[in-house]
Amino acid sequence: MRNVSLDAIPPTPKSGFETEVLHNVTQFVSQMPLNKIAFHVGRFPGHPELPQPCFRIVPTNPDAAELSGCAVNNDLYLGIGPVEQEYIDFARGGTIAPTFTWQEDLNWILRAVIAGGFSQKQSLDRQGRVIGTAS
């Protein structure tokens, strides 16, 4: 795995879901071909006092979006490009596809985004500023 960066103060995830999310994402990234993504691990952006693990994946594929996420207790905050979503109780079945485990769901999301298979729609105001997004 290449292009990995860590914050000066590494995250200190709780055992269980927070630790497992970081492990799953790191494992996914380690299986990617060299120089396909940049990977960053740290704490909640802008809040170094919060110990939860956060990650950012920046693909080199121009059709793919940047993907970021934070695991907090049993919830997953996920950002795909400019769109952010909180999945409440992701660890206990609050996944996108209810028949999948959270691990399967997260890996499906990671693969789809890195491959450029997630579409997004943006609504702009008259000045060209983004006022709404959907994915």
Per-residue pLDDT of the chain (135 residues; tens, 9 = 90+): 446 666 677 888 999 999 999 999 999 998 888 888 889 999 887 888 889 999 999 988 887 888 999 999 999 999 888 788 888 998 988 888 778 899 999 998 888 888 776 666 667 777 777 666 665
Domain count, the chain: 1
Q: Residue 102 is which amino acid? A: W
| CA dist., res. 128 & res. 44, Å (int) | 29
Q: Provide the token pair at 8.
A: 């000066």
Output the pLDDT for position 68.
92
Output the pLDDT for position 1.
43
Output the pLDDT for position 120.
61
44 in Cβ contact with 86 (< 8 Å): no
Output the pLDDT for position 37.
87
Q: Provide the token pair at 121.
A: 């729609």
Task: Please list, in sequence order, all residues whose beta carbon lies within 8 angstroms of the beta carbon of residue 80, skipping any fewer than 6 positions away.
Answer: 65, 66, 67, 109, 113, 118, 120, 135
Output the pLDDT for position 81.
82
Residue 37 sits in which domain range? Answer: 4-134
Output the pLDDT for position 48.
80
Output the pLDDT for position 104.
92
